[in-house]
Structure 1
Amino acid sequence: MNAEQIEAYVDAAAAALDLPIAPEHRPGVLRYFALAADMAALTEAVDLAAHDESAVRFEPVAPGGQS
């Protein structure tokens, strides 16, 4: 995503959620959204085959290691 697309997306998402973004926070919101978009693009660029397995599933345990 380019800077204009990121700004448009953040503005639309904030409006849809009725989430005000303070002017002093806007540069940080845009910067971190751009970072997340870059990470998503890297993830999407990995080719997976039908036989690739998903990540290990998290299973919580009771405190003390007893389930």
Structure 2
Amino acid sequence: MNAQQIETYVDAAAAALDLPLAPEHRPGVLRYFALAADMAALTEAVELAPHDESALRFEPVAPGAQA
């Protein structure tokens, strides 16, 4: 997403949710949304095969522990 698309989306989402966005908060919201959009683009760029399915449950493992 480019900067104009991000601004348009944030404005539309705030209006749809009836969420007031203070002028002093707007730059931070736009920065965070741009970051989130970049992370989403990275995730979407990974091609998945039919056998790539989500896990049935998540079990955290301590760093350095053998899985």
* Smaller-chain TM-score bracket: 0.7 to 0.9
For structure 1, which runs of at least 5 residues remain unmatched after alignment? 60-67
> What stretches of structure 2 of length at least 5 have no aligned partner?
60-67
Structure 1 residues 18 and 32, CA, compared in 2 at 3 Å: closer, same or farther?
A: same
Local SS of the residue matching 2:28: helix
1:49-60 equivalences under 5 Å are 49-55=49-55, 57-58=57-58
SS at match of 2:6: helix
The structure 1 segments of at least 4 consecutive aligned residues displaced by more than 4 Å after TM superposition are: none
What's the TM-score once normalised by structure 2's chain length? 0.81
- Normalised by the size of structure 1, how large is the TM-score? 0.81
